Structure 1
């Protein structure tokens, strides 16, 4: 709009009689503008703040939604320098990471407010059952709902749900953005985000990824990522549009690192030091993901809108990994005892995942009985199947140490000999190879769900929300002996889950609400596809060789909170007190079917605060902090009662801030803190000794990152990230035996060039 005035301002002409008109040249006129945001849910002018949820069932802005929902915008993700979803979520308050738990090492494992959430990851509102390694290159914003969420998400979601919102084609504007990154640890990363409209009705968008790096501080372990996301939009008119998306991702970790391990005995049980990379040469972990999604958005009438989403997909996952521990071993030739690290026999698995899902939601805005209602009626059908098996492990090299005392044949692989001399080539210590076996399990769940929700303004300041969802599921689980093909178990059952969500909010000020909410969630027996009949890890608990006979586990969340839009709606402050109580918990003993139906109960209480948006015109911040306490209330094992739950930190903090010093230069930092935690099985008390000391402790940590960016022109800028700037050794998760202690990345430097074509 300023262009005509800018042109006129280039010269000033003064005319006098009988004289030539002299010219006076003014200074350079600079026209500044901000890049148009491609995310329709963003708050304009506040890069770290989302205004709305991409889930259309949330009919009000996030600042008016009676629930804790943390949102990470695309800008916040880019500034952080983190790319894998596990890294991003591990830095959020109230979320901790778990280990692959031996036989269940597929993909990423999250724990939200003390509850398992590895199967509670959604993409654009539909459950993503692939349990893969997930990447952020195609994500527009990341929404984390805290507290039981079955009325929105269906079975599971006892602690919350993670919803990744993908980048979609748009007719709003064209853009071509390319990012090229390089850094320490041989890091290379290239991404491109291209959107082009063709006329008034059709647009295409493509996002591509290539990434490769050594694991910081743990070379030669390395990560490789390749991906493409294609989106095509056809907009017949402003009332009807169809979008078809394809998403493909190929991930592979070569020599995947299972980290360190704990040594010593309580109370002196601590992480080992100077642990070398012990992964064997043929070790690998990978995922191949392909999904096709079609969505329809139809405004039938001004007050009647239909959104429909259909997805078909598959993923192929595998892992071939080696763990390690330390302890006393023996020289088989001399019987000499010595302390050393040693590798275990390996951990393997593969999955073939196929899924189909359809969800339709009809929104109807209607005034009834003098009150404004925003009603949602939904239907969803899903069919998820997971066929899985493992690999046979063969060792081609001779053993070099002995696990039992005395002289005799060696039967183990050790890092050093009895004189303390390290082996020459640790990656080839065992000469390990893997051969894929046929399947040993076929897991499938089909479910049909119906949903009804309503948001109604009772008074000018008071709003009620109510939601109800019924899920009818049909689950089957077939177990098989691969070598013979003999079926060893054929289990199945059906049930219907009914869950609700109720919220009441009151506007204390035009931009400040207080609210109360209550919500439920239910988990089913055997609902974790990667666990089979490993009852201790979410697998099926059997009784008289049957899976049925158990009530669903039920979680109830009560929450009191407030949300305040500040700084002309550019800053959102939130605070919430919550309690989640879980009853009818199925308790498992181990990696077997031994367990008990509905004998457990636990409680989680806490407070969480958040801040996102612009503190000033120049300072953007994304902050969250939580303090959580947990307690086992009932258990088939009396000694567990009164103990905390396993694998979560009672205090956590995450702060990311960016300061725009000039129009061209910005800088920032991120700090995350987690208190210590104690390992153990899901839904079971953390491992404590009789004296009340944690047997598998993970130390607390505080890690800081810094970043800076400089914009050379409207089209070109550069950003530098230094992750773990103090190069701190820290650990994110522990296996219940202490043999896997996942290590956070060491210091890493990343430089990224961003160019808009």
Structure 2
């Protein structure tokens, strides 16, 4: 069993210091080591040089950036995938959504109206859109998230309630933020240009101000058009300002201010053709010129580390944040003009629809931790004792929209025959000026959901070394939640409110079968509140609440139990990490909407489902010149119990049974490196989150099918000088059209990006 431990000092700079003891992958590392030996550089300073050099890509880290994880990743009895900044940069991805969706075991979800905006992740078949964290604190609400400020991204698979609290049914995502350091003076600029008017500039500069103070600034500005989708635009502007006070003895105080503004033209992609049983290919761009998807995030965080004595440490993280989101987007769906249509009766067309909503979020979180290294008899304990308070206030609403242009077709719908907006004319050709068909004007309307969740939590975690062979992890957490949600459902105001206490635990055993190999077994639980998804109000089909408030207040929480058996190994002087695991996750008391598709009767805890799977991971340096990251999973999902008997035996929605990700980097010379990545996802089926995929009994098949897909990306690095590196990224080199997720009716299916070519110049100073 590995004997390495990390201290709060090392993790105070989070992922900046998590690569200690890793060797570089090219000759420049030797040059830097020689220089540091001549100038008496500390080991910490040597590693920081390697971390920041684009000439040295790191694909393996030893520790989590979460200070509460006392063991090395190698000794943690759970599956955790860590993506380093180097991997992310070389992959050419930047938005968190596209980074995560490439990974094995993770897929995307869709939404409609109140929950269509922002990023949605599904981990091991379970909704995780509210299980996103930054430096161990929950990042609530729906928004667009970027990676420019992240040093590494950690994906925890399986229930994580001991660390994360409520939710985390299938896992959690934790971004580790770049932090200031007094150990180095370093700057870096990454400037990129590419096809589709792509441009991106990222500045990262750390400056020691005195022996005890340091500052760091990260800046981002970026914009692009979606490949092959003229008129679909994306822009990002962000800043991370970080400060550090370090008395060099026992106290360190980190602070940072984060801001991100995203402005996109949303694209809901294609739709499912029920006649051909396939998504419609090469669908024209139909977004209207007034469409937008805007997100503004602001957060201020303070972290304090204090070494009370050699064995007793204190750590606090406190954050206040505000987020504003809003969108109006256009949907497209196949339709047929009505017989009453005067222009082209009974002719097939594509109908346009409006989806919209806004959200305002205000949240506060503070977390107090005591880290205690203590020995009882022959057993050594790394204890974490913590308390946490969070308050999340989320206001959701809609826009008041005026449709200024006359309708251009007549269709039959639920309300009978009426005027509509169609993309295709009587000759099945796209109308001229398709972005001006509807002509909306709008203003922000009233709110329809006031979500408030205050939580007081207490937890204890112990990593106990029983002997040279045995290690035990034990965690127990209680979350006391005070929940309210004042909603307007179909014009009727309803007040939901309840209080509940959740108890969750995690027990893991690790047995060392060799110096660099172990096997482990783990049992963990997670609990989710009814109505826990803050973005959906009374849409209980997507995790909100509806029906009778008294019934909702006494409903049971959803419970997830996970059993996992795995093994972890390190090879080649600990440069290469391998893990394999089998798991079984059972979710009981699943909320199911009772009644019609949009649930008029409320929610009942009548569902139960199970996901079984095998997951494999390999990352690190195979040789001094070859680096690799592999994640692969094969899973099966099944609904075990349901209010709707026909759902029993069906698979979960937006669930890929097989997925695979491979990223390689080969550096044959000091100046040149090249590589690429490959993503594969098997077919998925549309449906409501965390419940059965839609099934057509007449066809004897699933109603909405997302075809399997694979995508290949390539990159090449050229180290022009000691300070300058050039990188070329080729995305989706085959220019394949593929779809990443489907709405439950098939009304829209998200499109993956087409081929891209991007060049990046990195200058270090």
Q: TM-score, normalization: structure 2?
A: 0.91
Decide whether the 8 Å contact of 2:343 with 2:409 is kept in 1.
no
Query: Is contact 1:46–1:613 with CA below 8 Å preserved after alignment?
Result: no
Deviation per residue, 1:493-545 (Å, 9 max, x gap): 00100000000001101110100000000011111101112111100143365
1:339 aligned residue: 348
Kindly report which structure 2 residues correspond to 1:135-154, keeping only aligned pairs within 5 A, or say none: 135-154=146-165
Three-state SS of the structure 2 residue aligned to 1:644 is coil
Distance 1:334 1:260 in 2: 25
Deviation at 1:581, TM superposition (A): 0.2
**Post-superposition offset of 1:594:** 2.8
Residue 30 of structure 1 and its aligned partner are, at CA, apart by 12
- Name the SS for the 1:66 alignment partner: coil
Q: How does 1:626-641 map to 2 (within 5 A)?
A: 626-641=633-648
Give the 3 Å change call, closer, same or farther, for CA 57–339 of structure 1 in structure 2. same
**CA separation in 1, counterparts of 2:51 and 2:463?**
20
Match of 1:523 among 488, 504, 528: 528
Does the alignment pair 1:504 with 2:509? yes
Kept in 2, the 8 Å contact 1:47–1:613? The answer is: yes
Q: CA 1:455–1:30 in structure 2 vs 1: closer, same or farther (change >3 Å)? A: closer
- What displacement does 1:598 show? 1.6
Further displaced range: 415-424 or 670-679: 415-424
In structure 1, the partner of 2:101 is: 90
Which residue does 1:32 correspond to in 2? 31
**2:97 aligned counterpart, secondary structure:** helix
Between 418-427 and 90-99, the greater mean CA deviation after superposition: 418-427
Residue 491 (structure 1) shift = 1.6
Q: Tell me which of 673, 676, 688 is aligned to 2:680.
A: 673
1:619 to 626, 651, 662: 626
* Greater CA drift, 32-41 or 554-563: 32-41
- Is the CA contact (8 Å cut-off) linking 1:561 and 1:576 kept in structure 2? yes
Paired residues of 2:674 and 2:716 also in contact (CA < 8 A): yes
Q: For 2:263, what is the secondary structure of its paired residue? A: strand
Report the equivalent of 1:5.
none
- Which residue of 180, 191, 195 maps to 1:169? 180
Aligned pair partner of 1:462 in 449, 465, 470 = 470
Offset at residue 425 of structure 1 (A): 0.6
Of residues 487, 494, 497, the one that matches 1:492 is 497
Is the 1:181–1:750 contact (alpha carbons within 8 Å) kept by the matching residues of 2? yes
Q: What secondary structure does 2:285 align onto?
A: coil
The correspondence of residues 85-484 of structure 1 with structure 2, limited to 5 A, is 85-254=96-265, 256-265=266-275, 268-330=276-338, 332-334=341-343, 336-344=345-353, 346-404=354-412, 411-480=419-488
Q: Which residue number in structure 2 is paired with residue 6 of structure 1?
A: none
Instruction: Report what 2:17 is aligned to.
Output: none
Q: Gaps spanning 5+ residues in structure 2: where?
A: 1-27, 34-44
1:682 corresponds to 2:681: no
Is the contact made by 2:288 and 2:434 (CA closer than 8 Å) also made in structure 1? yes
Deviations, residues 417-463 of structure 1 (Å, cap 9, x unaligned): 22223211100011122221021211000000000011111111100
Cα-to-partner distance string for 1:54-80 (whole Å, 9 max, x where unaligned): 112211110111100000001001100
> Any idea what SS the aligned residue of 2:230 has?
coil
CA distance in 2, matches of 1:632, 1:365: 44
**Compared with structure 1, are the counterparts of its residues 280 and 498 closer, same or farther at alpha carbon in structure 2 (3 Å cutoff)?**
same
Cross-structure match for 2:663: 656
- 1:101 deviates by 3.3
Equivalent-residue separation in structure 2 for 1:596 and 1:435 (angstroms) = 33
Residue 639 of structure 1 aligns to a residue in which SS?
Answer: helix
Q: Per-residue deviation at 1:565?
A: 1.0
Supply the RMSD in Å over aligned alpha carbons: 2.1
Cα distance in 2 for residues equivalent to 1:466 and 1:45: 37
Q: Following superposition of structure 1 onto structure 2, how do residues 70-85 of structure 1 map, counting pairs within 5 Å? A: 70-85=81-96
Q: Partners in 1 of 2:549 and 2:236 — Cα distance? A: 45
Q: Does 2:591 align with 1:586?
A: yes
Stretches of 4+ moved more than 6 A in 1? Answer: 39-46
Measured in 2, the distance between the counterparts of 1:148 and 1:610 equals 19
Retained in 1: the 8 A contact 2:114–2:358?
no
| Distance in 2 (alpha carbons) for counterparts of 1:30 and 1:588 | 58
Cα distance in 2 between the residues matched to 1:525 and 1:87: 29
Distance 2:100 2:417 in 1: 47
Q: Distance in 2 between matches of 1:136 and 1:455?
A: 31
Distance 1:625 1:692, change over 3 A: same
Q: Does 2:571 correspond to 1:571? A: no
Whole-Å separation in 2 of the counterparts to 1:735 and 1:660: 42
Partner of 1:12 in structure 2? none
**What's 2:3 paired with?**
none
**Distance of 2:29 and 2:174 partners within structure 1:** 41
Tell me the secondary structure at the aligned position of residue 542 of structure 1: coil
Shift in CA distance, 638/42, structure 1 to aligned 2, threshold 3 Å: farther
Q: What SS does the aligned partner of 1:322 have?
A: strand
Query: Which shifted more, 328-337 or 223-232?
Result: 328-337
Pick closer, same or farther for the CA change 1:220–1:328 going to 2, 3 Å: same
Q: Distance in 2 between matches of 1:175 and 1:45?
A: 15
SS at match of 2:402: strand
Q: Which residue does the alignment assign to 1:17?
A: none
CA distance in 1, matches of 2:51, 2:77: 18
* Residues 697, 395 of structure 1: alpha-carbon distance in 2 compared, 3 angstrom cutoff: same
Q: Give TM-score, length-normalised by structure 1.
A: 0.92
Provide the rounded CA distance (Å) in 1 between the counterparts of 2:318 and 2:141. Answer: 16
CA contact (8 A) 1:533 1:592 kept: no
Q: Cα distance 1:41–1:634, how it changes in 2: closer, same or farther (>3 A)?
A: farther
CA shift, 1:578, in A, is 0.2
Over 3 Å counting, the alpha-carbon distance change for 1:41 and 1:308 in structure 2 is: farther
Say which one has the larger Rg: 1
Is residue 568 of structure 2 the alignment partner of residue 560 of structure 1? no
Q: Select the structure that is richer in helix.
A: 2
In structure 2, which of residues 539, 545, 562 is the aligned counterpart of residue 540 of structure 1?
Answer: 545
Distance 1:30 1:748 in 2: 32
Kindly tell me the number of residue pairs found equivalent between the two proteins.
720
- Superposed CA deviations along residues 327-385 of structure 1, whole A, max 9, x for unmatched, are 211472256221111201x1111111000000011111111132111111000000000
Compared with structure 1, are the counterparts of its residues 502 and 244 closer, same or farther at alpha carbon in structure 2 (3 Å cutoff)?
A: same
